[in-house]
Amino acid sequence: MIELTIDGKLIQAEKGSTILQIAKANNIKIPHLCWDRRLKPYGGCRLCLVEVEGQRKLLAACSTPAENGMVIKTDTPVLRKARKTVLELLLVHHPLDCPICDKAGECDLQDLAYQYGPSEGRFYAERKHDPEATSPLIERNPNRCILCGRCVRVCWEHQGVGAINLIGRGFNTKISPAFEETLDCEFCGQCVDACPVGALGTKPYKYRARAWFLESTDTICPYCSVGCTLTLDLREGKILRVRGMDGVGVNEGDLCGKGRFGFDFIYSEGRLTKPLLRKNGEFQEVDWEEALYYIAERLRDIKETHGPEKIGAIGSARTTLEDDIMLARFFREVLGSDNIDSSARLGYAWALKGMEDTLGIKSNPVSLNSPIGKEVVLVLESDITSTHPIFGLKFLEAMHEGTEVIVVDPRKTKLARRGNRWLRNRPGTITPFLYGITHLAMKEGVHLKKDITAEGLDELEDGLREYTPGKVSELTGIDEDLFREVALRFINAESRLLTLTLGAAENQKGLETIHAAANLLMLLGEGPEALQIPSDYSNTYGAWLAGLRPLSGGKDLYGMLYTPGSLKALYVMGEDPLVTMPDAGTIEENLKDLELLIVQDIRLSETGKLAHVVLPASSWAEKEGSFINSQGIRQMLPKVVSTTGDSIADWKIFRNIARVMGHDLGTVEFSQLKEEAGKIVPEEGTRKWRFIPPEWEGLARTTEEYPILMVTGNIMQHSGSLSVMSKSLSHVLSDAFVQISPEDAGRFRIGDGEFIEITSPKGTVYIKARVSDEIPEGMLFVPLHFAHARVNLLTEVSRDGKALLTPVRIGPRKGNGGSPAG
């Protein structure tokens, strides 16, 4: 601790902090433009100058470390004059176009100029760069730029992208991508939030409102399970933009592109406004009464004729906890059916099972800051910066602070590029990779020093015998020495972390991967905190906890969607199995056999198109509720905008059907549900550890006929099938594509941007190829978001949670067309 005086106030502070940090913590205001909490000090703008007794020069508070005994003044005539001069120089060539600048009213430069009084205008100059208008979502207006470099540093230091820079020097410096080309980046918009002036703006917000007319409300992001706080800015009841607020929410103000730009899905033309009832094969708009009476009657009929075990429900990973509770209550209390499940079954449920099998725990929420301060972190075949962007940033942050981030992935992901080390393994071989490390750890006798009482150690040792470094190298394609080096690094580290995702959309990891990871950690004496597996979407974890899964022997998702004849009626809430779930062909056949398919959603989904009745639900912003994020934190969503058309909150729809069926489920008001939701707590487990012997069979997936492995997953700009409704996100990317390596493209004569034919034992689809060195030879990567691509016709489902990479063969699209994308 040190002691210093700022403006006559005696202050104690941590050693190593800068003057500005200490001033901020003590509510002393020093102006600044180039400083950003998340970045290294830059000292570029000279606005934060302060006087320090005994120093002849004025010092920049943002980059001067505080020292014991310093006497600092932050507001004196000398400082005012210096700051005013700085502002005067900034304004020399700043266009005074505030009347048409979207930043006006919340611009730091404007505010400071106002605070320090009019400048004399001794100099005059003008810059004549054209605003850059071709990039999607983000517009640059270089004339307004004050060259503070915050955008550049946020993009590179914090986001790890480096898409823009200050190009040139002196008067001609201009903020731009390297070659003035159209911006090709993550479109996170972090640079826009960082810009203190109006030089960077978001296009969807351009000329939409003056800042002082906006009303702000905070809510939670509907996309991934990080659960970022979004600050919504509304005018006349319409959301115009989303920003992150420094220090607010689990994200502390950071946002990814989905959170920032994806909100406009609620204004999509595809929103359902009225219930649709199929009459003579065609959908007709009907009123709620007709739809509800139809549903009540049909459900009652089917229950009487076939029994409640023939009725099932698939819930959503994005509806609120309150919606989920009502779906579960409606099914259990009114229909008497326990056939309830959600997409969590395909991914996160296996992660939970894997951790229960080994670590004896029934829940293991992640901690966003877990990577920070660890000696070594292993990221296993998981593109965390795309699927969970703000969690992903923590790995970069940890790296800056000295953590060694090692990425094992066939794909050249952002973390692979930016991490300390990247080992490129063959797709789907992360499990044997883990076996190999565990094998080495045993050989080193690590466990003998640790007094491990877990069961199954001998079987584990037996099973792992064959996974020598040589064998692992052969299976994974990673150089043997490199493997050995990394394995020992991990084994011998003081502190460590393993992270991976096990999403419903992913097919290269499975239950066996979780077992392998847990085995290794237990052997090293690490507890569950060392295994970080985030849930998928905004409320995946909440849906699980709210009981959207069979609790008393009911059918699970496999039993309902993939087992012919298992149901007569299915209720689907906020999910589109035909797009997001594997082996869509089988699902489609089973759905077509149903006597009653009810789909409740905010738009007419692909699954909805097969339904007998479709109910319009309100979106995330149009109702109150809560989500449970991957950290296990329940966060409230306020109702922000009025409902679309006749849509109703999901939970109310269940209340209303129950009423029509003569059950009132209690009175059920939101406040009661909210209270009920508040009581949900994750289950504990026995915490008894057990090793699971190796069980990986991922070897012989490829054959001569199907020589290539297709991996599926989520990408940066999209999330499940929801984000494709967003106009802004679709502006960046709206077309389905498959990534293919330059080697395979050459071998199969496929050009970048050409349609190719992909055939698996299940079927054939046509899709546009993107040749990319992010992908190794022998592998394809396909995002699943785009309904028109129907990629899930090719995939398979594994009922025991195994990773099932899809073996395929590819070739140029044959024949002469028809509609693209099949």
**Residues that bind another protein in the complex, under the rule CB under 8 A:** 152, 156, 161-169, 176-179, 417
Rounded Cα gap, residues 656 and 662, in angstroms = 10
Rounded Cα gap, residues 178 and 165, in angstroms = 7
Here the tokens at position 551 are 């609790």
Tell me: does residue 35 bind ligand FES (CB under 6 A).
yes
Of 185 and 598, the one with the shorter C-beta distance to ligand SF4 is 185
Of 19 and 151, the one with the shorter C-beta distance to another protein is 151
Torsion angles phi and psi, residue 790, rounded to 5: 55, 40
Tell me: does residue 745 bind ligand SF4 (CB under 6 A).
no
Nearest Cα to Cα of residue 4 among 40, 39, 50, 46: 50
Distances (CA, A) of 203 to 181, 258, 261, 561: 17, 15, 10, 42
Binds 620: which of ligand SF4, another protein, ligand FES, none (CB < 5-8 Å by kind)? none
Q: Could you tell me how many residues make up the chain?
A: 822
Beta strand 708-713 pairing with 779-783: parallel
What's the helix, strand, coil split of the chain in %, to 5? 35, 20, 45
Of 421 and 731, the one with the shorter C-beta distance to ligand SF4 is 731
Beta-bridge partner residues of 496: 376
Q: What contacts 593, CB < 8 A, 6 or more positions away?
A: 564, 565
Binds 147: which of ligand FES, another protein, ligand SF4, none (CB < 5-8 Å by kind)? ligand SF4
Binds 191: which of another protein, ligand FES, ligand SF4, none (CB < 5-8 Å by kind)? ligand SF4
Here the tokens at position 452 are 């491990």
Tell me: does residue 101 bind ligand SF4 (CB under 6 A).
no
Which of the ranges 38-46, 120-128, 324-332, 394-402 carries the binding residues for ligand FES, by CB under 6 A?
38-46
Question: Does an H or E element contain 387, and which?
Answer: helix 384-387
Here the tokens at position 51 are 């006087």
Tell me: does residue 155 bind ligand SF4 (CB under 6 A).
yes
Q: Assess contact for 73 and 54: CB atoms under 8 A.
A: no
Of 163 and 313, the one with the shorter C-beta distance to ligand SF4 is 163
Instruction: Fill in the per-residue mask, 125 to 144: x = in contact with ligand SF4 (CB under 6 A), - = not in contact.
Output: -------------x------
Interacting residue with ligand FES among 4, 13, 19, 48 (CB under 6 A):
48
Classify 135 as helix, strand or coil: coil
Minimum Å distance from CB 179 to another protein?
6
Binds 611: which of another protein, ligand FES, ligand SF4, none (CB < 5-8 Å by kind)? none
Tell me: does residue 45 bind ligand FES (CB under 6 A).
yes
Q: Assess contact for 23 and 35: CB atoms under 8 A.
A: no
Rounded Cα gap, residues 600 and 75, in angstroms = 61
Tell me: does residue 164 bind ligand SF4 (CB under 6 A).
yes
Q: Assess contact for 777 and 426: CB atoms under 8 A.
A: no
DSSP E strand boundaries for 222-295: 229-235, 238-243, 276-279, 282-285
Q: Assess contact for 740 and 808: CB atoms under 8 A.
A: no
How many residues belong to the site for ligand FES (CB under 6 A)? 12
Binds 417: which of ligand FES, another protein, ligand SF4, none (CB < 5-8 Å by kind)? another protein
Tell me: does residue 653 bind ligand SF4 (CB under 6 A).
no
Of 47 and 346, the one with the shorter C-beta distance to ligand FES is 47
Nearest Cα to Cα of residue 651 among 329, 322, 273: 322
Tell me: does residue 390 bind ligand SF4 (CB under 6 A).
yes
Minimum Å distance from CB 29 to ligand FES?
13
Tell me: does residue 60 bind ligand FES (CB under 6 A).
yes
Classify 713 as helix, strand or coil: strand
Of 166 and 452, the one with the shorter C-beta distance to another protein is 166
Classify 746 as helix, strand or coil: helix
The per-residue DSSP string of 702-743 comes to --SSS-EEEEEE--TT--TTTGGG-HHHHHH--S--EEE-HH
Interacting residue with ligand FES among 46, 84, 258, 612 (CB under 6 A):
46
Of 9 and 417, the one with the shorter C-beta distance to another protein is 417
Minimum Å distance from CB 173 to another protein?
8
Of 60 and 617, the one with the shorter C-beta distance to ligand FES is 60
Rg of the chain's alpha carbons, rounded to an integer? 28
Is the sign of the CA dihedral 458, 460, 461, 465 positive or negative? positive
Rounded Cα gap, residues 381 and 507, in angstroms = 11
Binds 52: which of ligand FES, ligand SF4, another protein, none (CB < 5-8 Å by kind)? none
Tell me: does residue 32 bind ligand FES (CB under 6 A).
yes
Of 389 and 608, the one with the shorter C-beta distance to ligand SF4 is 389
Could you tell me the maximum CA-CA distance found in the chain, to the nearest angstrom?
92
Nearest Cα to Cα of residue 489 among 402, 404, 400: 404
Rounded Cα gap, residues 504 and 689, in angstroms = 26
Binds 179: which of ligand FES, ligand SF4, another protein, none (CB < 5-8 Å by kind)? another protein
Classify 52 as helix, strand or coil: strand
Interacting residue with ligand SF4 among 4, 30, 112, 256 (CB under 6 A):
256
For residue 798, the one-letter residue type is S
Interacting residue with ligand SF4 among 197, 442, 581, 782 (CB under 6 A):
197
Rounded Cα gap, residues 500 and 379, in angstroms = 6
Which of the ranges 67-75, 387-395, 658-666, 751-759 carries the binding residues for ligand SF4, by CB under 6 A?
387-395
Interacting residue with ligand FES among 6, 11, 19, 44 (CB under 6 A):
44
Interacting residue with ligand FES among 47, 340, 548, 661 (CB under 6 A):
47
Minimum Å distance from CB 492 to another protein?
23
Here the tokens at position 774 are 């992010």
Interacting residue with ligand FES among 4, 13, 50, 62 (CB under 6 A):
62
Binds 228: which of ligand SF4, ligand FES, another protein, none (CB < 5-8 Å by kind)? ligand SF4
Of 108 and 254, the one with the shorter C-beta distance to ligand FES is 108
Tell me: does residue 415 bind ligand SF4 (CB under 6 A).
no
For residue 585, the Cα-to-chain-centroid distance in whole angstroms is: 28
Rounded Cα gap, residues 811 and 710, in angstroms = 14
Tell me: does residue 19 bind ligand FES (CB under 6 A).
no
Classify 469 as helix, strand or coil: helix
Of 32 and 258, the one with the shorter C-beta distance to ligand FES is 32
Of 228 and 380, the one with the shorter C-beta distance to ligand SF4 is 228
Instruction: Fill in the per-residue mask, 198 to 227: x = in contact with ligand SF4 (CB under 6 A), - = not in contact.
Output: -xx--------------------x-xx-xx
The site for ligand FES (CB under 6 A) is made up of 32-35, 43-48, 60, 62
The site for ligand SF4 (CB under 6 A) is made up of 138, 145-151, 154-155, 159, 161, 163-164, 175, 185-191, 194-197, 199-200, 221, 223-224, 226-228, 251, 255-256, 258-259, 388-390
